[in-house]
Chains A and B, each alone.
Chain A
Amino acid sequence: MSAVQTETTTLIPAGTWAVDPVHSSIRWDVIDLDAGMKSISGRFTTFEGTVEGGDEQSAKGVVHTASLLTDHEMRDGHLRSSDMLDTERFPEIRFESSRIEQVEGNRHKIVGELTIKEVPVVVELDAKFQGTGTDADGVEKTLFRVEGAVEWGPTRVEITSDITAIRQ
């Protein structure tokens, strides 16, 4: 990092930014350390969210659970059923930050509530701010990656999300 670099380059600039679902992804890996000993990777394709940049950063978003995909139709059906996410009864997974702290440089810690099947859980996510730029059409965009994990007993789900957000 050069000495002249200002702090603003390590933060999402002030203002409201909306997640661009076409250029964003939410991916997850299930690691089951129980007797099942397996890993499954998948993603959600339908979600929305907004980010507030600047000194008072915040983030919130909604994932539509039925958009789950693991590239295996029967498994997807099972994961959407009442045996797992029960997507008919619980169509949304929600996240809302309670605080965002700058850890070092472009790395931030996001603390917030992740609500799965209407059970809210406090999670701590790692965020890496990638940068802000303007495309050929003059649209201002910002990029960041968010990583975190949730656990149910021996089952660990690691989440990686690459987000492109557009200035509103």
Chain B
Amino acid sequence: MTRILAISGSLRERSYNRALLRAARELAPAGVEIEEFDLSPIPFYDGDVEAAGDPASVLALRAAVAEADGVLIATPEYNRGTSGVLKNAIDWLSRPPLASVLRWKPVAIIGASTGRGGTRRAQQQVRDALLYPGAIVLEEPEVALPVAWEHFDEDGRLVDEKTRHSIRALLEGLAVAPRAQQGVEAA
């Protein structure tokens, strides 16, 4: 069984990004299990808080990432960037330096926006933030869904066939990526 941890950078109950993650659960290939982690209890990153001991919610997030074979992140785009919620979570996950649970962790990024950009700029920011602590970020297929309301039905179910196909392909890539990262660091 391959375990994928799903994280949404948008907290809203009826968020299109959470809807994308629900679609991913539905589209998961055989042998792939997707579980969502709710970022709402994660406090703002603060070095003083960290020095006093990592909060329980942060420890839970780190443990969930450590135990997962891969991570699927759905980011919204706010003001041409990712959400503070998501960047903050990545900042916590990047700690401690040299021992981050993100190192070699296969990650796929998806996103839906109500505007025309489809979260491309936000996804680039998330990618940059993940690469520094050493995550392996999948390149393609790109899942950046613009004008989101056109692609979900009343129940928040993704009905766009092309996007469903891309999410499925991305999950297949994420499912095989964990095997590759068990490798050896080359001399």
Contacts and interface: CB of A to CB of B under 8 A. Distances in A.
Q: DSSP class of B's interface residues: helix, strand, loop or mixed?
A: loop
Contacts of A152: 98, 100, 103, 133-134
Contacts of B97: 83-84
Nearest to A90: B99
Interface string A122-156: 11111000000000000000000001111111100
Contact of B132 (A34, A83, A111, A124): A34
Interface string A21-63: 0000000000000100000000000000000000000000000
B101 to A, nearest CB: 9
B185 A150 contact: yes
Contacts of A154: 131-132
Contact of A153 (B99, B134, B185): B134
Interface residues on B, range: 10 to 19
A153 B184 contact: no
A82 B48 CA distance: 12
Contacts of A121: 185
Interface of A: 34, 82-86, 109, 111, 116-119, 121-126, 147-154
Given A148-B185, A152-B98, A152-B133, 18 more contacts: A82-B96, A83-B97, A84-B97, A84-B98, A86-B96, A109-B187, A117-B98, A119-B98, A124-B184, A124-B185, A147-B187, A150-B185, A151-B134, A151-B185, A152-B134, A153-B103, A153-B133, A154-B132
